Amino acid sequence: MKRVLIIFANDLRRRLKSPLSILLMLAIPLVMTLVIGGVFGRSGKVEMTKIRLLVFDADRGLGGRFVRQGFEQGKLAEMFELVPVDSIDGFDLMAEGKASALLVIPRGFTNDLLDRRQTALKLIKNPSESFNPIIAEEAEPLKKTRSMLSADKWPALGDMQVLLDEAKIPFTQVEGYIGDSLVTLGSETAADTARAGGNAGSSGFNIFSYVMSGSLMLGLLFTSNIMLNDIVREKRAGTLARALCSPIGTGHVVAGKVLSVYAVTAIACLLLLVVGKFAFSMDLGDPAALAAHTAASILMCTGIMTLLFGIVRRERAADAIAPVVIIVLAMLGGSMLSFDMFGETMQRIGKFSPVYWANDGFKKIMVFGAGTSDISRNILVLAVIGLASLVPGALLLGTGFRKGG
Amino acid sequence: MIEVNGLRKYFGNVKAVDGLSFGVKEGEIFGFLGPNGAGKTTTISMLSGLLRPDAGTITIAGMEMSGGGGKARSIMGIVPQEIALYEELSGRENLHFWGSLYGLSGARLREETDRVLDMVELSDRADDPVGKYSGGMKRRINLCAGLIHRPQIILLDEPTLGIDPQARIRILDIVRKEAESGTTVIYTTHYLEEAESLCKRIAIIDQGRIHAEGTLAELVKLVGEEDIVTITGDFRADAFPALPEGTRIDRIADGTARLVVRDHGAVGSMLSGFFSSGLRVDTVAISEPNLQGVFLKLTGKELRD
């Protein structure tokens, strides 16, 4: 371990002595956040207004109530202002620019759920607004309602407690409803409200958190890229060969190098989050969730880039290929254009990008206030991808070292 | 100290090293003399454990290098052809890093760092970034990085490449002193004068093969001990004066003649006979047998500095 730490400490010292390239890379997500956040964030104001969501509850049952209660708790309560409307007249409020979206809970929603019939929530988005309707669509209560009755995993009992208590339904009875996808969310944009703009209410949602949660990964991938590119440069400079001639051994050199990639990427991430916190007043959410998700996301970055540099060993090829891979993964994962703006097909494809899972997790933590259990799937996916790419990547790097480059 | 037998290394279809065998005794400076691409660096890379040979064996101080040579590596110091240093770090930080790879730490590491910095007279610049050093200074730190752990064997791969004569002399002096203290040295170069002045034994290498090996005197004997006398002046080829015994004409044209004198002592009498003939002589150049001639004879090409 001491030998690994010698390599690791030296790389870290070198990077600290010459941090410019990484700082420039970190400027990418910061500038993106500043520009996009500034454009959508109302003349650069940090705090966005509360998102006004109209709810037309035709069901008036427990299911509909459960959905509404989701918006009235915790961080979402700060972000959303729920306005019950008696009828579909809510369209008029959107047309007047007084709401971002209208959620329609259909008649018989609760009964349909309990009778295992297909049912659908409908979200009608205000086309004159950019982000707020999407955020409403992304909101956890809507997702949770769907996942609770369709998910391949049993939801936390606490999540269902209110519903179960009020309905006086024994747990065993509810269990029978789990498994099939019974609830779908239909969303559409109200064409006749296009002329309206703006929304009303008070603060709660930070647009910078929303943008940074996506652009963060771009900076981290490029940071990992710089660190691994340094290994290629070391090959040219002869320092790598010299280290490999020492009694330290190839395995220790590879481990030290990979560890330094991870550490420097983690420092870069910390730096971005600190800047986000103090410069953009971002809410970083639950520290435990953020730490766990960040660790997994950096593992993914390190793994993917190690594998790439394990395969592509020549400096010129690495210079050409790595940025393309990063940009494609980041684009598909929603780092440049919000994933929520993708069409259905692109969303399906985008989920194959590991960056999606990282972005999605950061968004859940920093925008919707999710805890560790809410993002456990993201963490698992990222950790698996990270390890699955890191191990062969490190082996390939070592093989390349032994072959003299 | 070092035994190499039948060493081979191929890169695709290219035979970089083709059946090298040699031995180096303790405290000896053994030189590899050859042009660029002769296989010197590949040989050093295999000796240092960086490259695995395709065939052949390397034994370092009784230890086989075939298993990676972990122990053997710890008694070797490498000075590569490239200036393998971190430019963003200072000379001292570089030496601390390279020393720590060989197990030095704490006070011992600091002492050894100071020792080698003193040796190359760079103590006053030790804390400056290497990127700000001159080429000669970088070469000296590059040398230090290979000596910091007091290795029993030093592998130097063209350590004076591209530096000024003063810095070169300084480096050669250090290598000489290391050998005098009992360190075994393998030194590759394509500078004839370095090989002649520094190495106790020399292997002439080209196209991956050793063409000859021995002391300078032994190698010179391979091409004979004849002096070459080149005379230019006002004379005709067909009216050249008679030459004393042991001297013959190698090449002659109007105004220039190249003579071969078997006995070094006969050069004077040959020239006095020539002057007394009344012909005008402009220049006389005498070249004694040297490595250049040996190299030319063995490989059919000249080594260029």
Q: How far apart are CA B234 and CA B274, in angstroms?
A: 12
Does residue A206 or residue B162 have the better pLDDT?
B162
Dihedral sign for Cα B209, B213, B216, B219, please. negative
| pLDDT, mean of residues A167-193 | 44
**E strands present in A74-221:** 80-84, 101-105, 119-125, 183-189, 203-206
Option in B45, B51, B102 nearest A247 (CB): B102
Give the tens place of pLDDT for each residue, A46-55: 445 677 888 8
pLDDT at A136: 64
Query: Which residues in chain B have their CB less than 8 angstroms from residue A404's CB?
Result: 45, 50-51
Q: Would you state the pLDDT for residue A197?
A: 34
CA atoms within 13 A on the CB side of A180: 11
State the residue for tokens 């703009």. Answer: A197
pLDDT at B93: 95
- Whether residue A117 is contained in a domain is answered as yes
Compute the distance between CA of residue B95 and CA of residue B126 in angstroms, rounded to an integer: 10
Instruction: Give the contacts of B178 (CB within 8 A, at least 6 positions apart).
Output: B147, B154, B185
**pLDDT tens, position by position, A248-262:** 888 899 999 999 999
Task: For chain A, give the percent of residues with pLDDT over 90.
Answer: 20
pLDDT at residue A188 in the model = 53
Query: Could you give the CA distance from residue A393 to residue A302 in angstroms, rounded to a whole number?
Result: 10
A242 to chain B, closest Cα gap in Å: 7
Mean pLDDT of B75-79: 92
The residues pairing with B202 across neighbouring beta strands, listed in sequence order, are: B31, B214
Mean pLDDT of A266-291: 86
Within this chain, do residues A15 and A56 fall inside the same structural domain, yes or no?
A: no
Most confidently predicted of A368-382, B34-48, B109-123: B109-123
Answer with the one of A98, A115, A139 that is the final residue of a domain.
A139
Tell me if A144 is assigned to some domain.
Answer: no
Cα separation, A362 vs A338, in Å, equals 13
B43 neighbourhood in chain A, CB within 8 Å: none
How far is residue B10's CA from residue B56's CA, in Å, rounded to a whole number?
12
Contact present, A364 and A202 (Cβ < 8 Å): no
pLDDT at res. B241: 75
- Cβ–Cβ of B52/A402 closer than 8 Å? yes
Residue A89, domain CATH: 3.40.1710.10
Residues of B in contact with A243 (CB under 8 A): 101
SS3 of residue A108 by DSSP = coil
Tens of pLDDT, residues B167-179: 888 889 999 999 9
Compute φ and ψ for A343, nearest 5 degrees. Answer: -70, 170
Long-range CB pairs of A259-262 (<8 Å, 24+ gap) are A259/A4, A259/A7, A259/A8, A260/A7, A260/A8, A260/A11, A260/A12, A260/A15, A260/A227, A261/A224, A261/A227, A261/A228, A261/A302, A261/A305, A261/A306, A262/A298, A262/A299, A262/A302
Averaged confidence pLDDT in chain A = 76
SS (H, E, C) A244-292: HHCCCCHHHHHHHHHHHHHHHHHHHHHHHHHHHHHHCCCCCCCHHHHHH
Same domain, A28 and A105: no
Q: For residue B45, list chain A residues with Cβ-Cβ distance below 8 A.
A: 241, 404
Mean pLDDT of B10-29: 89
Q: What CA dihedral angle connects B265, B266, B272 and B277, to 10 degrees?
A: -170
Q: Do A247 and B71 touch (CB under 8 A)?
A: yes
Give domain status of residue A151, yes or no.
Answer: no
Q: What is the pLDDT of residue A303?
A: 95
Tokens at B224, concatenated: 């004979």
* Position A129 confidence tier, pLDDT thresholds 50, 70, 90: low
A chain contacts of residue B47, beta-carbon cutoff 8 Å: none
Sign of CA dihedral B251, B252, B255, B258: positive
Q: Which residues constitute the domain of residue A346?
A: 2-40+205-404
Examine residue A191 and state whether it is found in any structural domain, yes or no: no
Q: Are residues A215 and A109 in the same domain?
A: no
Write out pLDDT tens, residues A26-39: 777 777 777 766 66
- pLDDT bin (cut points 50, 70, 90) of residue A134 is low
Instruction: Say yes or no: A92 and A25 in one domain.
Output: no
Contact B84 A238 (CB under 8 A): yes
Instruction: Of A46-50, A239-243, A318-322, A366-370, give the lowest mean pLDDT range.
Output: A46-50
- Residue B187: what pLDDT? 93
The residues that bridge with A125 in the sheet, in sequence order, are A101, A189
**pLDDT on residue A203:** 41
Instruction: Tell me the average pLDDT across A65-75.
Output: 74
CB spacing of A13 vs B70 below 8 angstroms: no
Q: Chain A: residue nearest B96 by CA?
A: A10
Give pLDDT tens digits for B112-145: 999 999 998 899 999 999 999 988 899 999 999 9
Q: Tokens 């698992």 — which residue?
A: A380
The residue of chain A nearest to residue B81, with distances taken between CA atoms, is A238
Segment A220-242, tens digit of pLDDT:
999 899 888 888 888 888 899 89
Instruction: Give phi and psi for A106, each to the nearest 5.
Output: -70, 160
Average pLDDT over residues B221-228: 75
Spell out which residues of chain A touch residue B50, defining contact as CB-CB under 8 Å: 241, 244-245, 404
Q: Are residues A254 and A132 in the same domain?
A: no
Helix (H, G, I), strand (E, B) or coil at B41: helix
Question: From chain A, which residues contact B within 8 Å (Cβ)?
Answer: 3, 6, 10, 13-14, 17-18, 237-239, 241-249, 402, 404
Q: Is the same domain home to A11 and A96?
A: no
Residue A193 within any structural domain of the chain: no
Look at B93 and A13 and tell me if their CB atoms are within 8 Å.
Answer: yes
How much is the pLDDT for A156?
46
Tokens read off for A251: 């395995």
User: For residue B129, how far is the Cα from the chain centroid?
Assistant: 30
Q: Is 50 exceeded by the pLDDT of residue A195?
A: no
Say if CB A305 and CB A318 are below 8 A apart.
no
Q: Could B88 and A18 be called an inter-chain contact, meaning their C-beta atoms sit closer than 8 Å?
A: yes
- Count of C-beta atoms within a 10 Å radius of residue B223: 18
Of the residues B97, B101, B109, B144, the best mutation for testing chain A's interface (the one with the most A CB atoms within 10 Å of its CB) is B101
Same domain assignment for residues A128 and A247: no
Q: Which two tokens stand for residue A50?
A: 């509360």
Provide the pLDDT for residue B68.
64
The residue-averaged pLDDT of A308-318 equals 85
Of B49, B73, B89, the CB nearest to A14: B89
A142-151, A256-265, A329-338: least confidently modelled range: A142-151
Q: What is the DSSP string of A332-379?
A: HTTSSS-GGGS-HHHHHHHTTSHHHHHHHHHHHHHTT---TGGGHHHH
Q: Which pLDDT does position A153 carry in this prediction?
A: 39
pLDDT for A128 equals 64
Phi, psi of B87 (to 5 degrees): -65, -30
More confident residue, A160 or B166: B166
Residue of B nearest to A404 (CA): B51
Question: Structurally, how many domains does chain A consist of?
Answer: 2
A355 in the same domain as A269: yes
Among B45, B100, B139, the strongest candidate for a mutation testing the A interface, having the largest count of A CBs within 10 A, is B100
| pLDDT at residue B85 greater than cutoff 90 | yes
CB of B40 closer than 8 Å to CB of B7? no
pLDDT tier at A141, thresholds 50, 70, 90: low
Pair of tokens at residue A230: 């340094």
Last residue within a domain, chosen from A102, A120, A139: A139
CB within 8 Å: B97 and A10: yes
**A244 is a domain residue:** yes
Q: Which residues of A touch B82 (CB under 8 A)?
A: 237-238
For residue A14, which residues of chain B lie inside 8 Å, CB to CB? 86, 88-89
Q: Do A14 and B68 touch (CB under 8 A)?
A: no
CA distance B133 to B88: 11
- pLDDT score, position A205: 59
Q: Can you give the pLDDT at residue B259?
A: 84
Among A123, A139, A155, the domain boundary falls at: A139
Closest CA to B261 of B288, B221, B240, B242: B288
Instruction: Work out whether the CA dihedral B28, B33, B39, B41 comes out positive or negative.
Output: positive
Phi, then psi, of B199 in degrees rounded to 5: -90, 135
CA distance B39 to B57: 17
Residues in A closer than 8 angstroms to B100, CB to CB, are 6
- A121 within domain boundaries: yes
**Are residue A283 and residue A253 in the same domain, yes or no?**
yes
Claim to verify: residue A257 and residue A325 sit in the same structural domain:
yes
Residue A96 has pLDDT above 80, yes or no: no
Lowest mean pLDDT among A6-15, A195-204, A364-373, B292-301: A195-204
Whether residue A302 sits in one domain with residue A390: yes
What are phi and psi for residue A396, nearest 5 degrees?
-65, -40
Chain A residue numbers touching B79 (CB-CB < 8 A): none
Whole-angstrom distance, CA of residue B168 vs CA of residue B150: 21
**Residues whose CB falls within 8 Å of the CB of residue B132, separated by 6 or more in sequence, listed in order:** none
Give yes or no: residues A229 and A294 share one domain: yes
Q: Give the pLDDT score at A193.
A: 34
Is position A187 within any domain? no
**More confident site: A115 or A357:** A357
Burial of residue B268 (CB within 10 Å: 0-12, 13-18, 19+) is exposed
As a whole-number percent, the residues of chain B with pLDDT over 90 amount to 34
Burial of A24 (0-12, 13-18, 19+ CB in 10 A): exposed
* Mean pLDDT (whole number) for B47-73: 83
B48 vs chain A: nearest CA distance in angstroms? 6
Please report the pLDDT score of residue A39 as a whole number: 65
Q: What is the mean pLDDT of residues A206-226?
A: 83
> Cβ separation of B50 and A245 shorter than 8 Å?
yes
Give the model's confidence band at A40: pLDDT under 50 very low, under 70 low, under 90 confident, else very high. low
Find the largest Cα–Cα distance for chain A. 78
